[in-house]
Structure 1
Amino acid sequence: MERSLVLLKPDCVQRRLIGTIISRFEAKAIDIVAMKLIQISPDLAKQHYAEHCEKPWYPGLEAFITGAPVVAMVVQGLDVIRVVREMLGATNGLEAAPGTIRGDFSSSRQMNLVHASDGVEASKREIDLYFSDSELCAYDVALTPWFRAEDE
């Protein structure tokens, strides 16, 4: 089992696509083990996007991500980091394939609805930024045997 941070960004919240996006993850048998609506502060944005803070376009990114609430989630599943990123599609919504979240709902590079961790190390770091251990709710989903074989 793997975990990933997923952020439903301000454009997702403002466009009222939260339920639509979450339903895609649930349909794929991805478990949500933590979720909350939060307002990202400039300080948290700087921690999250530390590798981008010195880039000339960072102020616009910070203004966007702090401009409205986000839904922060921890999702869990087999190979979930790769699976979620494939479900999102290319970063630029204009380049994302139809059938992906960004391909179906985004027409922008920055306003691309959802962030997801890009690797195991990033996932751990990002989850720790947004959630304490006590906020993670591991549980057995009764339908799991109907989504994948016991030996997977």
Structure 2
Amino acid sequence: MQRTLILLKPDCVQRRLMGQIISRFEAKGLNFVAMKLLQITPELAKQHYAEHVEKGWYPTLEEFITGGPVLAGVLEGLEAVQVVRDMLGATSGLKAAPGTIRGDFSSSRQMNLVHGSDGEEAAAREIGLYFKPEELVANTPTITPWIRAADEA
């Protein structure tokens, strides 16, 4: 099992798309093990996007991500990092394939609704930024045997 962080960004929250997007992850068989609504501070944004802080476009990114509440969540499942990234689609909603979250709901590169960790190491680091270990809930839904074979765990 892998865990990955998602952030339903301010544009997603303001557009009231949270329920539809959460439903897609659940329908795929991914399991939420943590979730909370929060306001990202400039300090947290700098930690999260540390590799981009020195780039000329960073101030616009920080203004966007701190501009409204976000819903942070941790998803768990088989190959969760790649599954989530595939579900999100290309970074730019203009280039994302129909059927992906961004392809269906976004028409912007920056206002692309959802952040998903880009690898296992990034997921571990990002989960640690948003959640304390005790905030992660171990849970195996009773429907799990109907979502994947026992030898796939």
Normalising by structure 1, what TM-score? 1.00
In structure 2, distance between residues paired with 1:126 and 1:4: 8
Provide the C-alpha distance between the structure 2 equivalents of 1:140 and 1:7, rounded to a whole number of angstroms: 22
SS of match in other structure, 1:84: helix
Deviations 1:96-122 (A, max 9, x none): 000000000000000000000000100
The equivalent residue for 1:134 is: 134
In 2, distance between residues paired with 1:87 and 1:99? 8
Q: Distance in 2 between matches of 1:51 and 1:28?
A: 31
1:150 aligns with 2:150: yes
Partner of residue 101, structure 2: 101
1:73 aligns with 73
Structure 1 Cα separation of the partners of residues 80 and 67 of structure 2: 28
One-letter amino acid matched to 1:54? E
**Match for residue 59 of structure 1?**
59
The size of the alignment, in residue pairs, is: 152
Percent identical residues: 71
3-state secondary structure, aligned to 2:98: coil
RMSD of aligned residue pairs (Cα, Å):
0.3
Q: 1:44 Cα shift?
A: 0.0
Q: TM-score, normalized by length of structure 2?
A: 0.99
Instruction: Give the C-alpha shift of residue 148 in structure 1.
Output: 0.6
Aligned equivalents of 2:149, 2:3: Cα separation in 1: 20
Q: Which amino acid aligns with 2:33?
A: V
Distance 1:148 1:75 in 2: 16
1:15 aligns to what?
15
Q: Give the distance between the partners of 1:148 and 1:5, measured in 2 at CA.
A: 22
Secondary structure of 1:151's aligned partner: helix
Q: Which amino acid aligns with 1:113?
A: L
Cα distance in 2 for partners of 1:72, 1:139 equals 18
Give the match for residue 111 of structure 1: 111
Using the alignment, how far apart are the partners of 1:87 and 1:70 within structure 2? 19
Q: Residue by residue, what CA displacement relative to the aligned partner does 1:35-72 show, whole Å, maximum 9, x if unpaired?
A: 00000000000000000000000000000000000000
Distance in 1, matches of 2:140 and 2:115, equals 26
Partner letter of residue 10 of structure 2?
Answer: P
Code of the aligned partner of 2:100? T
CA distance in 2: counterparts of 1:120 and 1:84, whole angstroms: 12
Show structure 1 runs of 4+ deviating over 3 A.
none
> What is the alpha-carbon distance in structure 1 between the residues aligned to residue 36 and residue 129 of structure 2?
13
